[in-house]
């Protein structure tokens, strides 16, 4: 299995460092796709991680090149500490990620969608083995969700962050909540806020708040209305996720808008690229809950479900690797079939020249039936040899006995 994965996650670096790494990985990935021996690449970027999954002929050379390109793309300090997974480990890692076992929130609900989105976005750059790998990872994720309690207990990062905000500042029911952002994740956050009974207002610097309000029961805000809303809101949630260099909200903006407000304001920043300035962490009157805080406060106590999920992943990994090893036999099977079919075609040529069309058709059916019978056992043995790592011996035997040279490996 010629796949490897290289990247960083919430296990190693802060969300700010991960944002920087993600931008560099996009640039490095474009160059890595063009490298000799690289047949495909998929970039998986979420609020928890950024990893490049690469179909490559040379593991060590590709890892060195990837780290070199990442360093040149702007993260020389992060490139050397990237996690690297190869072959079986890369397959298992992706399956664990897709099933939510390696997320900031174990069993998180959104990860399968993010894996599917990564495959869709990288579809043109992904090789057939990577397509099959990601598709099976998604299938395994669905199986784990259906067969364990992780699907029921799995919560989003947003729900954990809002749980934390409520534990610190009381229930959101009946309170004014201001949401910054109208992207795909904003819909998830809005649904959670409404479920908790909050009254939600939405602001978007791109001017899409009004359009968002047509499909969600929220109040849209204009640029002119934002300062007043900042002054009265009882909870602020930012999730535009644009990763801009300029923050949507600064310490000065909130301080001026809130004036002498005595109540402590929870500010939940769910954007990987930060929507609010990190200075808010030390701003009086503000309780900043960002992704780093969420990661430190996430419980991972689904012991029985995790054990069951890992067993299902064990089986899925083996099934995937077996299937991929079996595919290695395809060129050998094609070579044998081509050899036999060529003999059949020669015989049919002689029959056609000396017999009627009816007689030729009868002989053709008989020859093809015999050929298929003869080909069955070699095809089965080729697949068995591939699964057992003995395909080289099988191909050597073909060349020795029949003079068949297998190409396409």
Would you please indicate which residues are annotated as catalytic (active-site) residues?
Answer: 47
Give just the sign of the alpha carbon dihedral 351, 353, 354, 357: positive
Q: How buried is 56 (Cβ within 10 angstroms: 0-12 exposed, 13-18 middle, 19+ buried)?
A: buried
> Strand order in 83-86's β-sheet?
38-45, 49-56, 3-9, 83-86
Q: How remote is the C-alpha of 264 from its chain's centroid?
A: 37
With tokens 């905000």, the residue in question is 165
Q: How many helices (H) and strands (E) does the chain have?
A: 16, 10
- 8 A C-beta contact, residue 237 and residue 189: yes
Q: At 373, list the tokens.
A: 């019978």
Nearest-10 Cα torsion for 261, 295, 15, 13: 140
Looking at the chain, how many residues does it have?
Answer: 409
DSSP 208-262: -HHHHHTTSS-EEE-TTTHHHHHHH-SEEEE------SS-SB-HHHHHHHHTT--
Closest to 241 in 3D by CA, of 54, 22, 61, 84: 22
Closest to 129 in 3D by CA, of 67, 66, 83, 87: 87
List the beta bridge partners of residue 152.
none
Q: At 147, list the tokens.
A: 């067969």
DSSP category for residue 108: -
């Amino acid at each position: 299995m010629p796949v490897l994965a290289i990247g960083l996650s919430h296990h190693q670096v802060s969300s700010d460092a991960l944002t920087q790494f993600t931008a560099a990985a996009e640039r490095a990935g474009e160059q890595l796709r063009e490298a000799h021996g690289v047949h495909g690449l998929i970039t998986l970027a979420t609020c928890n991680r950024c990893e490049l999954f690469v179909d490559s002929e040379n593991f060590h050379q590709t890892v060195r090149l990837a780290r070199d390109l990442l360093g040149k793309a702007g993260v020389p300090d992060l490139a050397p500490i990237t996690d690297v997974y190869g072959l079986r480990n890369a397959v298992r890692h992706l399956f664990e990620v897709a099933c939510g076992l390696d997320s900031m929130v174990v069993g998180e609900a959104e990860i399968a969608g993010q894996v599917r989105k990564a495959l869709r976005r990288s579809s043109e750059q992904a090789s057939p083995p990577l397509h099959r790998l990601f598709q099976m990872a998604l299938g395994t994720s669905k199986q784990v969700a259906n067969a364990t309690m992780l699907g029921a207990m799995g919560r989003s990062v947003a729900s954990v962050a809002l749980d934390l905000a409520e534990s610190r500042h009381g229930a959101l029911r009946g309170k004014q909540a201001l949401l910054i952002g109208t992207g795909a994740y904003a819909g998830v956050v809005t649904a959670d806020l409404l479920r908790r009974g909050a009254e939600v207002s939405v602001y978007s610097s791109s001017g899409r708040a009004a359009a968002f309000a047509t499909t969600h029961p929220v109040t849209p805000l204009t640029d002119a209305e934002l300062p007043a809303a900042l002054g009265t809101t009882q909870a602020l949630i930012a999730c535009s996720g644009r990763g801009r260099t300029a923050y949507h909200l600064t310490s000065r903006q909130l301080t001026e808008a809130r004036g002498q407000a005595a109540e402590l304001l929870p500010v939940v920043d769910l954007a990987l690229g930060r929507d609010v300035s990190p200075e808010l962490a030390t701003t009086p009157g503000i309780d900043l809950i960002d992704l780093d805080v969420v990661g430190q406060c996430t419980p991972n106590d689904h012991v029985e479900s995790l054990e069951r999920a890992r067993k299902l992943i064990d089986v899925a990994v083996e099934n995937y690797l077996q299937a991929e090893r079996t595919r290695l036999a395809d060129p050998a099977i094609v070579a044998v079939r081509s050899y036999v079919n060529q003999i059949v075609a020669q015989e049919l040529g002689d029959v056609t020249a000396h017999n009627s069309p009816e007689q030729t058709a009868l002989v053709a059916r008989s020859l093809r039936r015999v050929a298929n019978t003869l080909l069955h056992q070699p095809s089965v043995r080729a697949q068995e040899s591939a699964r057992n790592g003995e395909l080289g011996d099988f191909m050597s035997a073909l060349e020795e006995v029949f003079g068949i040279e297998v190409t396409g490996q």
